[in-house]
Amino acid sequence: MPNFYFSSMNANFLQTPIAYLKGVGPNRAETLQSELGIQTFQDLLNLFPNRYIDKTQYYKITQLQRSSADVQILGKIVHIKTVEQKKGKRLVASFIDETGEMELVWFRGQKWIRENLKLNTPYVIFGKCNWYNGQFSMPHPEMELLTEHEQGLKIAMQPVYPSTEKLSNKGITNRAINKLMQQLFMETKGRFSETLSPALLHELKLLPKSEAMFNIHFPKNQELLAKAQFRLKFEELFYIQLQLLSKKMQRKQKIKGYTFDQVGELFNDFYAHHLPFELTDAQKRVIKEIRSDLGSNAQMNRLLQGDVGSGKTIVAVMIMLLAIDNGFQACLMAPTEILANQHYNGIKELLQGSHVTCALLTGSVKKSARRPIHEQLENGELQILIGTHALLEDKVQYKNLGLAIVDEQHRFGVAQRSKLWHKNEIPPHVLVMTATPIPRTLAMSLYGDLDISVIDELPPGRKAIKTVHRYDSNRLKVFRFIRDEIKKGRQIYIVYPLIQESEAMDYKDLMDGYESIVRDFPLPNYQISIVHGQMKPADKDYEMERFVKGETQIMVATTVIEVGVNVPNASVMIIESAERFGLSQLHQLRGRVGRGADQSYCILMTSHKLSSEAKTRLQTMVATNDGFEIAEVDLRLRGPGNLMGTQQSGVLNLKIADIVKDNDILKTARYYAIKLLKEDPGLEHPDNLIVRHGYGQLVKYKNIWNYIS
């Protein structure tokens, strides 16, 4: 599919199926498509190298060192022989230059190689050298006749393209892809239409498009390669930001929202008499930002980020009261029943004494109980509805929905959310909440079309959770500590990992752990709950309930408790096999404690065998409680792939840029996109027609949501 790299001058030619490129044909085309997704000339052009091998220097045989570097040598083959060995044979050629002699060795494909090698003819060879029996040898060298080498495009720095085992087996080696790329450049004469304005090229000193494309595939030197990479990365990120930002502008102009201009009795009464604690400055700032949105006549679309326990729910409640004060209804949608129940119970408790009507709607609510909810929602008697996906059902109709709050947004699909927006003629204001702190770079790319508010401080009186890392050999000391905490009247979580692929093994780990804990904490002195994914929901709820009520002192569980359990009396979180958890998961689990006034602890248990990445994760957890800091480390360790929930594919399907490594380029691209849209929102200035055309191609062929998976 076309994307924004080329304008119409090349567009049609570059949409030619790859099978028609000289040297490809139907079989190769099929392999390229299945392995690398290459269907057209355009796709091949946008297959950017992973790395480069410097071929700027030719070595003499006497200059060779016993290192693992790739080298390039000019010489000729003077003799070929087959040598018997324990398993099979090897083909050995004597290769000489004017300074000395070395061997070339092949263990596979010997018949074809022997038939095609030319004696006493100049070759350029390339590969890694081994020192063997007092002589250098090069196994399976890349070889090119000097005459061909001189005729080809001068590639001083050899690009290395993404590859797979199947490609190599089918003979589509790196060299083959390189040749196809050279062929493509010959057919296009290396001319590509410019996609950035003269002002951008001048101000950022960017290479022209054609020069950048040539130097990304056939760099003449390191300096030109760096310039080509910067130009293409900037362009990719610039167009993505341009689309996100213009969508945001259009939405603000086109999509009108309800104006909440009253700060009424409910809001003021709650603020004056029912706040459970003094609001932090961060909460006050966020409420101000949201109120400013609600007071304009544009529809609000805001992301509220806050760490575990930062008090997002209070903000949500106050904004709901603002909606009700202005004569509207509000709803809150959560991804799981546990979380929906927790929100419902927490919000009902906060609103005790006020006359606000509030109901819960989840899959478990019986049909007989649903009817009155539906009726009261339609006639306006019901002011707040809290629930799960059940809120999206067609039967659920509001009298006047003014505010929709979505918790843990990344767990809902775009289609599901749009269903909620269409419950009204005028779409409701939207507040998206997430407890997974997202690094600013990622937020700018994923939510560039949303306004972002951040609660970056915890409520007063919260004690920082003390986190320590202990090895399995310290288990007896850890158990002693648990007994001391239980004596003080506290409760304990012990969490075991759960990885779907090995559910049977995980279940065994959990049961083994449970049995050893029951032995060390026997009845009747200790009561223990157990919760895991294979239990019936009713049994799970029963066990959870016992722990919440304080009837059991220890909760042994898998990660089902990651969200949605709020037990202020639980002060210790023990995470078994902590090395098997991701950073954000460890942080979320730790957030289950530290909800009361007592000092809380998180103990990370591991074996002594740890990878360096696991060590980094554990050190980060011990060093900081700051979710944003943790998210930054997570982004560096894992890339943007699965920060947003469980997806593994990578959040941004970028061709050349990397939002972790190219953070600075992303900021630059965003700055120039904002500047351009401020100065020329319609991209009508003659200088910006190039950008307008490039943007048109992007919108036409590859919507931004193809980049954001």
Q: Which CATH number goes with the domain that contains 587?
A: 3.40.50.300
* Residue 21, in any domain of the structure: yes
Which 3 state secondary structure label does DSSP give 279?
Answer: coil
On whether the CB atoms of residues 441 and 467 are closer than 8 A, the answer is no
Do 272 and 364 have their domain in common?
yes
Q: State the amino acid at position 368 in one-letter form.
A: S
What interhelical angle do 174-188 and 209-217 show, nearest 10?
A: 160
Do 164 and 72 have their domain in common?
no
Give me the pLDDT at residue 684, please. Answer: 93
The average confidence (pLDDT) of the chain is 85
* Residue 697, in any domain of the structure: no
On whether the CB atoms of residues 338 and 364 are closer than 8 A, the answer is no
Structural domains of the chain, count? 4
| Residues of the chain falling short of pLDDT 50 | 1-9, 499-501, 641-651, 704-709
* Residue 583, in any domain of the structure: yes
Q: Which residue has the tokens 């087996």?
A: 169
Q: How far is 317 from 351, CA to CA, in rounded Å?
A: 9
* Residue 235, in any domain of the structure: no
What's the sign of the alpha-carbon dihedral 71, 76, 82, 83? negative
Residue span of the structural domain in which 473 resides? 466-624
Give me the pLDDT at residue 374, please. Answer: 94
* Residue 339, in any domain of the structure: yes
On whether the CB atoms of residues 606 and 596 are closer than 8 A, the answer is no
Which pTM does this prediction carry? 0.66
Give me the pLDDT at residue 423, please. Answer: 74
Do 140 and 274 have their domain in common?
no
Instruction: Give 662's DSSP letter.
Output: T
Q: How far is 614 from 622, CA to CA, in rounded Å?
A: 12
Do 177 and 93 have their domain in common?
no
On whether the CB atoms of residues 466 and 600 are closer than 8 A, the answer is yes
Instruction: Give 659's DSSP letter.
Output: T
Do 506 and 406 have their domain in common?
no
On whether the CB atoms of residues 13 and 699 are closer than 8 A, the answer is no
Do 474 and 494 have their domain in common?
yes
Give me the pLDDT at residue 676, please. Answer: 95
Tokens of 593: 């404690």
Report in angstroms the alpha-carbon separations of 455 from 260, 307, 312: 23, 7, 8
Q: What is the pLDDT of residues 660-694, one digit of tens each?
A: 778 789 889 999 999 999 999 999 999 999 999 88
Give me the pLDDT at residue 96, please. Answer: 96
Q: What is the pLDDT of residues 138-151, one digit of tens each?
A: 999 989 999 888 87
Do 355 and 333 have their domain in common?
yes
Other C-beta atoms lying within 10 Å of the C-beta of residue 389? 18
Give me the pLDDT at residue 643, please. Answer: 38
* Residue 76, in any domain of the structure: yes
Do 438 and 377 have their domain in common?
yes
Give me the pLDDT at residue 503, please. Answer: 59
Tokens of 10: 């090349």
Q: Which CATH number goes with the domain that contains 109?
A: 2.40.50.140
Where does a domain end: 455, 477, 506?
455
Give me the pLDDT at residue 222, please. Answer: 77
CA angle 104, 108, 112 (to 5 degrees): 85
* Residue 80, in any domain of the structure: yes
If residue 37 lies in a helix (H) or strand (E), which one and from where to where? Answer: none
Give me the pLDDT at residue 502, please. Answer: 55
Which of 695, 707, 700 is CA-nearest to residue 243? 695
* Residue 72, in any domain of the structure: yes
On whether the CB atoms of residues 438 and 455 are closer than 8 A, the answer is no
Q: How far is 461 from 595, CA to CA, in rounded Å?
A: 10
Which of 669, 642, 629 is CA-nearest to residue 439? 629
Non-local (6+) Cβ contacts of 664 within 8 A are none
Do 63 and 177 have their domain in common?
no
Give me the pLDDT at residue 8, please. Answer: 45
Rounded CA Rg of the chain: 32
Scanning 312-459, the segments in alpha helix (DSSP H) are: 312-325, 337-350, 367-379, 414-421, 440-446
Where does a domain end: 434, 455, 476?
455
Tokens of 395: 């039967």
Where does a domain end: 455, 477, 493?
455
